């Protein structure tokens, strides 16, 4: 904001001596002054000096105000960060008690999609009506333009019935010429109107055809939307039916969905693996808990005006450790509460919770995963606890939970109940990959092929300590291998099936795999073949925990691990045609 200088004024004394004046005003400083001088140039300099002084004062005041506002904004930011840090601590202390306010049972109807098709029905395009060209007025003989132009003499002679013929002929010629021009213009206009009408009709027909096409496309997309909606809703109904029929795989998926819906801070891991005892109703959970590094560190933030910087005060190690242990005990009890409360069909008689933590081992510099607490509790015993008033740590001890004296030390303990990875169907495996160089995989012995797939995936999962085992040879499309990923409950139990085929794999094989995944209570299914899959197979696997690997994918994985096998379907068909009976 600058000083405003008005127009120069002049006044004359009685002797005729001029006096000049200028009005100065500064709105921001609320100042007004009239400067006078008998010398016009001196007056201008005096006014500019006064204005410069005012402007300097204003600039200084504005700078001080800006600095003050900056300090106030920084102080407000510090308060917001402090309040946010405090609210994070409060929310962590209420992890368990917040969950008590929620009904954890899954509302199956809420999983269904009953929405209408969101796209409106296409409307026809608006075609502007043509504006027809107006024809010129038809010339008439009686028009004044075609009446002979008579002079005074002609008018005098007309009294006696004598009008010069030359003027009559001129008027007649003008009429005939204008009439011919009118006819010519009218013909051109008629052609233009006819052309405009034809183009307009073409636009109407095209708009109609486009609208009909848009309607057909819209109806097809709407039908596809409805079909997909019905399919998804049918899946929900099938899941509910399977759950209420107490199928183990359906119960495990239901429990997994319950825990997936549980609301925790975004940086907390939400990984777990579960197994259900079919005879005793015992649900065993390996749950990945947050580490100490996931706990908030900031206690208070202040703005130091003299340094123009923020001062951050962190929680003490003792405070973080105490908070950390409280959070872990809360998660343990909250998990049991959510699963027992959601168990509307009373399928769970007890739950064994094993809490694991993945953290850096400062001695080795590697991430290690240890089980640091374990709790087994029956539904009846847990129902006697008043969680709204209980202290998490004391409640854990009351339920005979086992944990290290200090959870933050990550001292490993033995789980009360372990996930059972033993299967009577497992058989001794043997290595095949080393002898597969240049081998036509499509012509391999089917048992060798299954062991090759097992060995290949063992290399894939073995990086993280995974384990892959081959099941007994049944040749019935059942489980060929089972992979276990122990780090930490990331992949869980994975069913692998190997199809050494020479024809395209149909959707029935993919359906069988999905059924096996559900029956096994696995988290994922992988189907490996030497050929490829039909479109219906890929469509069925979409949005399901299934992975389809064709021959190209298989060769890529082998190449990844340093092997150069090949797949020749024609050669394999010729080979099997010579064999009797044909192999798998």
Q: Based on C-alpha coordinates, what's the Rg of the chain? A: 46
- The DSSP output letter for 116 is P
Comparing CA positions, the residue from 442, 512, 453 lying closest to residue 482 is: 453
Q: Buried b vs exposed e over 185-213: b needs ≥16 C-beta within 10 Å? A: eeeeeeeeeeeeeeeeeeeeeeeeeeeee
Q: Is the pLDDT of residue 583 over 70?
A: no
Task: Among 3.40.50.1400, 3.40.710.10, 3.40.1350.10, 3.60.15.10, name the CATH number for the domain at 426-577.
Answer: 3.40.1350.10
CA–CA gap between residue 539 and residue 582 (Å, rounded): 30
- 76-129 pLDDT, tens digit each: 999 999 999 999 999 999 999 999 999 999 999 999 999 999 999 999 988 888
**pTM recorded for the entire structure:** 0.58
Q: Is the pLDDT of residue 471 over 80?
A: no
Band of pLDDT at residue 338, cut at 50, 70 and 90: very high
Q: Is the pLDDT of residue 348 over 60?
A: yes
Q: Is the pLDDT of residue 20 over 80?
A: yes
Q: Where are the domains of the chain?
A: 4-79, 111-121+139-243, 267-409, 426-577
Highest-pLDDT range among 87-91, 492-496, 510-514, 539-543: 87-91
- 166-215 pLDDT, tens digit each: 677 787 888 888 889 888 988 988 888 888 889 989 999 999 999 999 99
- The DSSP output letter for 354 is E
Question: In this structure, what token pair is assigned to residue 228?
Answer: 């997909």
- Tell me, rounded to whole angstroms, the distance of Cα 207 from its chain centroid: 37
Q: Is the pLDDT of residue 464 over 60?
A: yes
Q: At what angle do helices 248-260 and 165-244 cross, to 10 degrees?
A: 120
- 52-69 pLDDT, tens digit each: 999 999 999 889 889 899
Comparing CA positions, the residue from 357, 481, 462, 478 lying closest to residue 413 is: 357
Chain-wide mean pLDDT for the chain?
85
- 366-387 pLDDT, tens digit each: 788 889 999 999 999 999 999 9
> Residue 312 forms beta bridges with which residues?
301
Share of the chain above pLDDT 90, in %: 42
Q: Is the pLDDT of residue 475 over 50?
A: no
Q: What is the mean pLDDT of residues 509-519?
A: 85
- Helix boundaries (H) for 22-39: none
- Position 580 scores a pLDDT of 54
- Position 422 scores a pLDDT of 54
121 touches 218 (CB < 8 A): yes
With residue 180 as reference, give the H or E element that holds it.
helix 165-244
φ, ψ at 528 (rounded to 5°): -120, 130
Q: Is the pLDDT of residue 581 over 80?
A: no
Token look-up 């190209």 returns 552
Q: 82-91, 143-152, 476-485: which range is least confident on average?
A: 476-485
Token look-up 């219906």 returns 536
- Position 432 scores a pLDDT of 63
User: For residue 445, how many other CB atoms are within 10 A of its CB?
Assistant: 13
Q: What is the mean pLDDT of residues 319-333?
A: 96
């Amino acid at each position: 904001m600058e000083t405003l200088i008005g127009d120069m004024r002049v006044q004359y004394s009685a002797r005729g001596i001029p006096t000049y004046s200028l009005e100065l005003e500064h709105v921001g400083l609320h100042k007004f002054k009239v400067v006078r001088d008998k010398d016009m140039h001196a007056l201008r300099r005096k006014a500019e000096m006064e204005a410069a002084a005012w402007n300097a004062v204003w600039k200084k005041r504005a700078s001080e105000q800006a600095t003050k506002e900056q300090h106030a904004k920084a102080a407000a930011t510090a308060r917001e960060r402090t309040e946010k840090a405090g609210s994070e601590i409060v929310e962590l202390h209420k992890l368990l008690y917040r969950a008590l306010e929620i009904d954890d049972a899954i509302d199956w109807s809420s999983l269904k999609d009953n929405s209408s098709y969101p796209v409106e029905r296409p409307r026809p395009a608006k075609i502007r009506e043509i504006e027809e060209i107006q024809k010129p007025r038809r010339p008439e003989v009686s028009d004044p333009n075609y009446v002979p132009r008579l002079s005074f003499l002609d008018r005098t002679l007309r009294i006696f019935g004598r009008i010069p013929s030359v003027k009559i002929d001129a008027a007649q010629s003008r009429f005939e010429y204008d009439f011919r021009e009118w006819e010519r213009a009218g013909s051109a206009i008629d052609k233009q109107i006819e052309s405009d009408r034809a183009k307009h009709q073409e636009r109407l027909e095209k708009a109609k055809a486009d609208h009909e096409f848009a309607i057909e496309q819209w109806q097809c997309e709407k039908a596809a939307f409805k079909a997909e909606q019905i399919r998804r809703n049918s899946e929900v109904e099938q899941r509910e039916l399977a759950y209420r029929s107490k199928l183990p795989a359906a119960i495990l998926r239901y429990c997994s969905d319950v825990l997936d819906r549980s609301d925790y801070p975004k940086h907390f891991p939400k990984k777990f693996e579960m197994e259900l005892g079919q005879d005793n109703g015992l649900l065993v959970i390996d749950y990945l808990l947050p580490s100490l590094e996931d706990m908030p560190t900031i206690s208070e933030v202040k703005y130091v005006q003299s340094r123009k910087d923020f001062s951050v005060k962190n929680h003490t190690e003792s405070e973080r450790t105490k908070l950390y242990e409280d959070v872990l005990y809360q998660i343990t009890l909250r998990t049991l509460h959510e699963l027992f409360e959601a168990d509307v069909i009373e399928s769970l008689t007890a739950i064994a919770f094993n809490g694991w933590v993945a953290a850096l081992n400062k001695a080795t510099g590697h991430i290690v995963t240890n089980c640091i607490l374990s709790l087994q509790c029956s539904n009846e015993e847990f129902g006697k606890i008043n969680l709204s008033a209980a202290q998490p740590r004391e409640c854990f001890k009351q339920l005979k939970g086992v944990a290290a004296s200090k959870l933050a030390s990550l001292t490993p303990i033995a789980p009360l109940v372990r996930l059972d990875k033993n299967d009577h169907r497992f058989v001794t495996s043997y290595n095949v990959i080393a002898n597969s160089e240049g081998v036509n995989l499509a012509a391999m012995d089917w048992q060798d092929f299954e062991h090759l797939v097992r060995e290949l995936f063992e290399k894939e999962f073995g990086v993280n300590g995974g384990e892959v085992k081959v099941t007994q040879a049944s040749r019935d499309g059942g489980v060929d291998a089972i992979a276990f990923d122990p780090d930490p409950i990331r992949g869980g139990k994975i069913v692998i099936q190997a199809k050494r085929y020479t024809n395209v794999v149909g959707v029935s094989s993919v359906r069988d795999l999905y059924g096996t995944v559900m029956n096994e209570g696995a988290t994922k299914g992988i189907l490996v073949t030497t050929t490829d899959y039909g479109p219906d197979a890929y469509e069925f696997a979409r949005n399901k925990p299934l992975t389809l690997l064709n021959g190209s994918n298989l060769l890529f994985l082998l190449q990844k691990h340093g092997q150069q096998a090949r797949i020749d379907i024609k050669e394999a068909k010729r080979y099997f045609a010579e064999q009797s009976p044909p192999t798998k």
